[in-house]
């Protein structure tokens, strides 16, 4: 269980959370909310990438795999090396397994700049899966993937993620993820 | 395709060289005094004669050693200083003004002071290093400060640690700037190093020979030594670019 316990956070003058409390008890939580509602901020607070100015985030496991809203791939490394970068020394070969899982074997040697947006997105997902951990936090992981690919990729992620917090922008995506849907900035929906 | 491009570049360079040699030859004919402006042919003859002497190769090697060692030290110090100023604000506070002072001080002042502080043969290398430091420091520091914040956050999320963050993010981000700073530094090291040799007159040095040739009014020889410096500088730059090819991010 992850608990945002009376947290406050602001970007300069702009207050995003003020004495906000939320408990995530399900294995899979889908965050929904309008753009700017604070979904990404919430994910970063959970991962410890941002520090709340007040309150605490409790129950976050030691190892968290994070997929950012942007792909954030190393532009000078191939897809394979981007995945291998998060693996322990000597385990670089495992990168191929994760790329294959994301149907990227044919572009494993390509630089991100030479790949499509959807391919880059899947490299970012493969990197998170390769890193592993007890919690997966994914910010719009299906961005840029067509529906057929989304249908193939989501079960593979769900199969491997012990716990997952994910943001979604469409009903189709939310349905694919299943789990508990939480509306940020508008109360829990179910 | 690539070889055609190279050939084209070579031909263009050759045409430019022939053109300027022609201009030089015409200018020398117009001036008509070898003492003021020797012709390219007499300079080539002087260079040929110099190259036939063992001493020429010895003192060329010694000058190269002095300047390259100064260049390498300067680049290393400039790089480390840039890393320190980016990483620790106290280093930035202490080192930044020092580097700015070095950058603003005339080379001649440093040469005169260095002649008082250290042995004569070490002055050219010392000066080359001193001139190179601010160039490398400024370029590397700027590139490091402009490193993509998003990638650094990603490195934090995936627990890259110091070494992986340096190796996978900072190094590829800084390398193109470091590379161009090195090329600029190389040119500056040669100019300042030879100037230091001319002023402090160490034994077995191109600068010393340049000054001697001027003093005994052997102008073709003075020009020949200058040509040697230019050729060495260009050769080293080409060698460096060859070594670095493919190691800089596109």
Tokens of A146: 């067509």
How high is the pLDDT of residue A106?
Answer: 95
Q: Yes or no: say if B71 and B186 are a contact pair by the CB < 8 Å rule.
A: yes
Tens of pLDDT, residue by residue over A170-179, are 888 999 999 8
Question: Residue B169: its chain A contacts at CB < 8 A?
Answer: 74
Which residue bears the tokens 């003058």?
A: A13
Q: Is the pLDDT of residue B58 over 90?
A: yes
Q: Is the pLDDT of residue B40 over 50?
A: yes
How high is the pLDDT of residue B244?
Answer: 80
Pick the CATH number of B36-247 from 1.10.3720.10, 3.40.50.170, 1.10.150.120, 1.10.3300.10: 1.10.3720.10
How high is the pLDDT of residue B7?
Answer: 85
Q: Is the pLDDT of residue B160 over 60?
A: yes
The stretches of A23-133 forming alpha helices (DSSP H) are 39-47, 79-84, 94-101, 117-131
Tens of pLDDT, residue by residue over B197-233, are 999 998 889 999 999 988 888 889 999 999 999 999 8
| Angstrom distance (rounded) from CA B152 to CA A66 | 13
Q: Yes or no: say if B66 and B205 are a contact pair by the CB < 8 Å rule.
A: yes
Q: How confident is the model at residue B2 (pLDDT cuts 50, 70, 90)?
A: low
Q: Reading across the β-sheet that carries A54-58, which strands appear in turn?
A: A14-24, A2-11, A54-58
Q: Is A70's Cβ below 8 Å from some Cβ in B?
A: yes
CA distances from B231 to A179, B12, B178, B226, B236 (A): 71, 18, 23, 9, 9
- Cβ–Cβ below 8 Å for A66 and B158: yes
How high is the pLDDT of residue B81?
Answer: 94
How high is the pLDDT of residue A179?
Answer: 83
Q: How confident is the model at residue B143 (pLDDT cuts 50, 70, 90)?
A: very high
How high is the pLDDT of residue B75?
Answer: 96
Which one of A88-97, A178-187, B124-133, B237-246 scores highest in mean pLDDT? B124-133
Q: Is the pLDDT of residue B8 over 90?
A: no
Q: How confident is the model at residue B164 (pLDDT cuts 50, 70, 90)?
A: very high
How high is the pLDDT of residue A187?
Answer: 43
| Percentage of chain A lying above the pLDDT 70 cut | 97
Extract the residue ranges of chain A whose pLDDT is less than 50.
186-190
Question: Residue B249: its chain A contacts at CB < 8 A?
Answer: 75-76
Point out the residue among A47, A70, A77 whose CB comes nearest to the CB of B157.
A47
Can you point out the beta strands (E) in A25-102? 28-32, 54-58, 64-67
Q: How many CB pairs under 8 A join A and B?
A: 33
- Cβ–Cβ below 8 Å for B169 and A74: yes
Q: Please provide the distance, in angstroms rounded to a whole number, between the alpha carbons at the two ends of chain A.
A: 17
Tokens of B98: 């020092």
**In terms of Cα–Cα distance, which of B43, B63, B97 is closest to B192?**
B63
Point out the residue among B150, B172, B249 whose CB comes nearest to the CB of A70.
B150
Cα distance from B151 to chain A (closest Cα, Å)? 6
Q: Is the pLDDT of residue B250 over 80?
A: no
How high is the pLDDT of residue B5?
Answer: 80
Q: Please provide the distance, in angstroms rounded to a whole number, between the alpha carbons at the two ends of chain B.
A: 20
| Angstrom distance (rounded) from CA A177 to CA B92 | 49
Mean pLDDT of chain B, nearest integer: 90
Residue A148 backbone dihedrals phi, psi, to 5 degrees: -60, -45
Q: What is the pTM of this model?
A: 0.82
How high is the pLDDT of residue B4?
Answer: 78
pLDDT greater at residue B6 or residue B188: B188
Q: How confident is the model at residue B249 (pLDDT cuts 50, 70, 90)?
A: very low
How high is the pLDDT of residue B1?
Answer: 56
A21 class by beta-carbon count within 10 Å (0-12 exposed, 13-18 middle, 19+ buried): exposed
Beta-carbon count within 10 A of A14 CB:
8
Q: Yes or no: say if B237 and B183 are a contact pair by the CB < 8 Å rule.
A: yes
- Cβ–Cβ below 8 Å for A86 and B156: no
């Amino acid at each position: 269980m992850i608990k945002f316990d009376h947290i406050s956070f602001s970007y300069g003058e702009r207050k995003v959370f003020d004495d906000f409390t939320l408990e995530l008890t399900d294995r899979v939580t889908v965050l929904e909310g309008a753009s700017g509602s604070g979904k990404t901020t919430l994910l970063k607070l959970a991962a410890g990438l941002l520090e709340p100015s007040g309150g605490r985030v409790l129950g976050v496991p030691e190892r968290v795999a994070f997929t950012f809203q942007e792909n954030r791939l190393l532009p000078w490394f191939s897809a394979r090396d981007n995945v291998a970068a998060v693996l322990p020394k000597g385990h670089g070969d495992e990168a191929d397994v994760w790329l294959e899982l994301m149907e990227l074997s044919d572009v494993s040697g390509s630089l991100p700049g030479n790949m499509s947006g959807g391919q880059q997105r899947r490299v970012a997902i493969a990197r998170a899966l390769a890193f592993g951990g007890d919690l997966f936090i994914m910010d719009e992981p299906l961005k840029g993937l067509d529906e057929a690919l989304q249908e193939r990729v989501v079960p593979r992620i769900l199969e491997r993620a012990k716990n997952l917090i994910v943001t979604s922008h469409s009903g189709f995506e939310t349905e694919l993820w299943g789990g508990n849907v939480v509306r940020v900035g508008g109360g829990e929906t179910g | 395709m690539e070889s055609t491009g190279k050939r084209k570049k070579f031909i263009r360079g050759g045409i430019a060289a022939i053109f300027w040699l022609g201009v030089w030859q015409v200018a020398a004919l117009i001036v008509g005094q070898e003492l003021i402006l020797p012709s390219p042919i007499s300079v080539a003859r002087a260079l040929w004669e110099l190259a036939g002497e063992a001493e020429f190769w010895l003192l060329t090697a010694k000058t190269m050693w002095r300047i390259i060692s100064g260049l390498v030290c300067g680049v290393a110090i400039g790089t480390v200083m840039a890393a320190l100023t980016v990483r620790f604000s106290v280093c930035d506070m202490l080192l930044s003004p020092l580097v700015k002072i070095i950058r603003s001080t005339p080379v001649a002042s440093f040469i005169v002071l260095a002649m008082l502080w250290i042995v004569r043969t070490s002055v050219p290398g010392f000066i080359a290093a001193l001139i190179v430091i601010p160039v490398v420091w400024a370029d590397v520091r700027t590139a490091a400060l402009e490193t993509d914040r998003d990638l650094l956050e990603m490195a934090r999320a995936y627990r890259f640690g110091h070494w992986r963050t340096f190796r996978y993010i900072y190094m590829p981000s800084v390398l193109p700037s470091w590379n161009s700073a090195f090329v600029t530094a190389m040119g500056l090291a040669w100019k300042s190093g030879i100037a230091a040799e001319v002023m402090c007159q160490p034994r077995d040095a191109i600068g010393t020979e340049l000054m001697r040739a001027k003093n005994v009014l052997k102008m073709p020889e003075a020009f020949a030594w200058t040509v040697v410096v230019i050729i060495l500088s260009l050769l080293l730059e080409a060698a460096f670019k060859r070594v670095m090819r493919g190691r800089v991010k596109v």
